[in-house]
Amino acid sequence: MNPSLPFFVLATLSVFSALMVVLSRKPVHSVLYLIFCFFTIGGHYLLLNAQFLFAVHIIVYAGAIMVLFLFTLMFINMNKELEPHKTNLLKGAATVAAGCLLLVMVGVTKGAESLAANSNRTDVGTVANLGKALYGQYLLPFELISILLLAAMVGAVLLGKKSVE
Amino acid sequence: MNSILQYIPLNYYVALAAILFAIGVMGVLFRRNAIIIFMCIELMLNAVNMLLTAFSTFHGDESGQVMVFFIMAVAAAEVAVGLAILVMIYNNIRTVDIDELNKLKG
């Protein structure tokens, strides 16, 4: 078996589901495809040997953020096709613009020589190693993140109140 | 698990991240629903996160993965506030169609 097969299967699935997020007509289908896309990106994290990021990614994205999106979508009740779409001209323009961006990005990196793994360490992404980095070198940013999350929570609650007098 | 790094060059990850990012940009330009646009922004964030993880693993340096962890925390905060704003907009003007949200236009 080709050892790079898992990468190509996962990459195909992520690109397909990402395209379906954009192209599917119903918003709820978009959310479900995005959840699937996040799971395939989690698979890429596993392939890259980043177990800690895989766990955090599944918990935060599939578990929290996408549930929030689904909840908001149900709250606004947009499963019907009441959403007006852009004209075909604008859709074509958007596709061409994004294609040009892709062309530029691929063209810039095409000439670069392929970089092989220049380190023999394979335990970079384990919980133990990242925990040491988080609670050692990056302790201050790690604590500041908690303040950011608290501020975001207060902001969300304040915005969600019925009306501000 | 070390084998995958020997068989997949870093260029493939760069190309995959570029494709996912371009699809996110296309979605932002393509749709009129503000929630879908928000989701496409999440897609772009994830493409960049994946590229950062790939570089971090290839270089054997955990700083990149710590940065991805911070980006995820910031994304969570951003989504909470952004969706609260969208719900507030919907409560006030009963639509999240970005072509209707043009009150700031002069």
Q: For residue range A14-60, list pLDDT tens digits in order.
A: 999 999 999 988 888 999 999 999 999 999 999 988 899 999 999 99
- The CATH number linked to B52 is 1.10.287.3510
Question: Tokens standing for A108?
Answer: 């810039």
The whole-number pLDDT of residue B41 equals 94
The whole-number pLDDT of residue A4 equals 83
Of residues A3 and A165, which shows the higher confidence score? A3
Average pLDDT, whole number, for chain B? 88
Distance CA A70, CA B100 (A): 23
A8, A79, A83, best to mutate vs chain B, most B CBs in 10 Å:
A83
SS3 of residue B85 by DSSP: helix
Indicate whether B99 belongs to any domain: no
In B17-76, the residues whose Cβ lies within 8 Å of chain A are 18-27, 29-33, 35-36, 38-40, 42-43, 46, 49-50, 53-54, 56-63, 65-66, 68-70, 72-76
Q: Which chain A residue has the Cα nearest residue B76?
A: A65
Of residues A100 and A3, which shows the higher confidence score? A100
What's the Cα-to-Cα distance from B17 to each of A6, A52, A82, A156, B94, rounded to whole Å? 16, 20, 33, 31, 36
The whole-number pLDDT of residue B100 equals 81
Whether residue A41 contacts residue A57, with contact meaning beta carbons closer than 8 Å, is answered with yes
In A27-56, the residues whose Cβ lies within 8 Å of chain B are 27, 30-31, 34, 37-38, 41, 44-45, 47-50, 52-53, 56
Q: How many domains does chain B have?
A: 1
* Confidence (pTM): 0.90
Q: Whose CA is closest to B5, among A125, A147, A71, A100?
A: A125
Evaluate if residue A121 carries a pLDDT over 80.
no
Evaluate if residue A88 carries a pLDDT over 80.
yes
Indicate whether B13 belongs to any domain: yes
Q: What radius of gyration do chain B's Cα atoms show?
A: 18
> Binning pLDDT at 50, 70 and 90, where does residue B59 land?
confident
Whether residue A38 contacts residue A11, with contact meaning beta carbons closer than 8 Å, is answered with no
Range of the domain at B51: 3-93
Whether residue A69 contacts residue B83, with contact meaning beta carbons closer than 8 Å, is answered with yes
The whole-number pLDDT of residue A80 equals 59
Beta strands in B1-106 (DSSP E): none
CA angle A86, A92, A98 (to 5 degrees): 105
Evaluate if residue A81 carries a pLDDT over 90.
no
The whole-number pLDDT of residue B3 equals 55
The whole-number pLDDT of residue A101 equals 94
CATH of domain A1-80: 1.20.120.1200
